[in-house]
Chain A
Amino acid sequence: MSAFSDVFDKREMLATLVARNLKIRYQGSALGFAWTLLNPLFMMLIYWIFIKFMKFPMSIPGLLTGILAWQFLTMCCNDSISAVAGHPNLVKKIYFPRIILPLSTVLANLVNYLLSLLVLFGFALLAGKLAWGPGLALLPLVVAIELVFCLGLALLVSCSSVYFRDTEHIVGVLLMAWFFMSPVIYSLDFITANSRIPPWAVRLYVVNPMAGLITLYRAIIVGGPYPGVIALVAAVVVPVVVLAAGVSIFRKYEPDFADEL
């Protein structure tokens, strides 16, 4: 609990760091912060053209939902590599709860994600695919669960990269494998309704919380099928466990960060 009160005491610093992270990402570019909206917009255009030609078995808004949710996670993992290890001066010279560093990168990415969700909503609306169901009320909850998951991963990654510089490469490889192991560019049905995949492998597949989370996003935004029970439970339990592990491991090693950098 003291982790939270520490962070609460430093909320102004946290807010400043989040703003800084957002600012630096687009620093020096002529369009600046507009890129936060332009990036997903262009991405949607590119996918739209691509899918028109490739006859891809998924609607564009459904595909984009998966890609945006996935991007939020990868951006958090990638940015957290340098969240602590990239600021040796700060960590060595000034005392503050170190948890603020990965937290601020995750929150900055959350802002990005929410803005790109807005663009997605506009796009789905224009494409006539937006699902106007009561499920929309669930969206904040699903985002919150993914946020918990991303923060847990960010804590583990940022802590690990202080000790092992290889973390960067390992994270890259794992994310690549994970991308194909999650229903990002295909739907969950593709796995669960596939008779060639044995049931035990399907159960293993849905333990991956991204399977449940991305499917939930799709169900809520474009009105796809909801995930099964195992996928739902995994999508809630695994993020919470990862965050708990992330917080306790990060706090255990935090006092020695200055020695390692």
Chain B
Amino acid sequence: MKSIEVNGVGKKFTLKHAGRNTLKASAMSILRWRKGREEFWALKDISFTAESGSTIGIIGANGAGKSTLLGILARTMRPTEGSVAVRGRVSSLLELGAGFHPDLTGAENIRLNGSILGLTRREIREKFDQIVRFAELEQFIDIPVKHYSSGMYVRLGFAVAVEVNPDILLIDEVMAVGDETFKKKCLEKIAQFKTEGKTMLIVSHDLDTITEVSDRVLLLDQGRVVRVGEPGQVVDQYKSLGFQKAGAVVIREWGTKEAVVSAVRFTDGKGGAVERIASGGPLVVEIDYRAGKRIEDPVFGFGITKSDGTLCCGSNTIIDAFPVDAIEGEGTLRLSFGMLPLLQGKYYFSFSLHTRDHRTSYHRMDNWFSLWVDCPRKAEGVANIASRWERK
């Protein structure tokens, strides 16, 4: 039997411009409305079915339409076109604690949120202790939730939502919040739902989890289904797709230019310029600066980013306890790396010159310089951490 049937669903949004809260902006938007507002399709031609008892993972970049799709299945949004058939009681873990009121206590919020999610008062009474225990909030259940940490908030939301005992469960990025222990608990609960034969749709950026729990994975890109199929294959396709996009680190230059980093030279420490270095080798960077006026207490900073956007190391003259009391005119700083234990790949260097309180950036060059690192060991990741295998 099919629990969910989605047929040619499309969802069109009308883009609104910020600042609707004032009379003027409102009058402006009415004028714009007459001219025709901007429209865009968050979802287009979406069709798929979910067998009852199956788990479907939904992946895609930010803005691919994942949350919109879950919203339509949860009936909070109606599709602009196409049809959706959902058979069974739906519970959505779309935003944990969505119905919480900050001024009410945890206990009061359990009753409130439970009734919003469709539990009867009797059910809530019966399951109350269980919910509190699952959320591990025994000591805090009688204080207002505005004093909760975000982790506590989410635990309570999850504990209530899973008690609704739905036939179909929609889960959006639940695992992204909370600590490792909580994530493990979520996964156990998901596994339990799976054995109980519940249908689940899970949105997550955690690709390993998606691969593990899903029977099938649906890959969305710009509101369209790119592929539906076996989890491992679809996730691999997403990875290859994703890296091309994420590979574009932002390269830009900005600042007040009251003082600038006028030149940067990468050297091997003996004076020779380098464009590529060997992993584990030394690197000395010479940073020329020029200040048009005297600047007290400036801070120089650097950052090393891998081509996939991972920040490998970032520091500055305050963190490294090398105070520069003032600069005026031209000068040069030397930044020495004894050894760079990086794996093979292209790395981007950022340099900055700013005030101590970060309020004013005199000059920032984000990912402005690149350096290739050669590494004989073809391991994955960022750092070349020495390791050795042996049999005991």
Contacts and interface: CB of A to CB of B under 8 A. Distances in A.
Interface stretch (A12-20, A180-188, A211-219): A12-20
A27 B20 contact: no
Contact of B108 (A23, A90, A256): A23
Contact of A96 (B13, B112, B116, B121): B116
Given A166-B26, A258-B76, A24 B101 contact: yes
Interface residues of A, number: 27
A92 interface: yes
Nearest to A20: B112
Interface string A149-166: 000000000000000111
B75 A95 contact: yes
Given A12-B121, A16-B112, A165-B20, A259 B77 contact: yes
A255 interface: yes
Given A16-B112, A164-B26, A166-B26, A89 B99 contact: yes
Interface stretch (B90-98, B244-252, B256-264, B367-375): B90-98
B187 interface: no
B95 A89 contact: yes
Contacts of B20: 165
B1 interface: no
Nearest to A100: B116
A92 B76 contact: yes
A91 B95 CA distance: 11
Given A12-B120, A13-B116, A165-B20, A93 B108 contact: no
B198 interface: no
A255 B104 contact: no
B78 A256 contact: yes
Contacts of A17: 112, 115-116
A28 B104 CA distance: 10
Contacts of B101: 20, 24
A53 to B, nearest CB: 40
A169 interface: yes
Contacts of A259: 13-14, 77
A23 B23 contact: no
B74 interface: yes
A12 B71 contact: no
Contact of A93 (B76, B104, B121): B76
Contacts of B21: 165
Nearest to B25: A165
Interface string A134-150: 00000000000000000
A195 B111 CA distance: 59
A92 B92 CA distance: 11
A49 interface: no
A90 B116 contact: yes
Interface string B108-144: 1001100111101100000000000000000000000
Given A24-B103, A27-B104, A95-B75, 10 more contacts: A20-B104, A90-B98, A92-B95, A93-B74, A93-B98, A94-B74, A94-B76, A95-B90, A165-B20, A259-B77
Interface of A: 10, 12-13, 15-17, 20, 23-24, 27-28, 89-96, 164-166, 169, 255-256, 258-259
Interface of B: 13-14, 20-23, 26, 71, 74-78, 90, 92, 94-95, 98-99, 101, 103-104, 108, 111-112, 115-118, 120-121
The 6 lowest CB-CB distance pairs between A and B, nearest first, are A95-B75, A93-B98, A16-B115, A93-B94, A89-B98, A13-B115
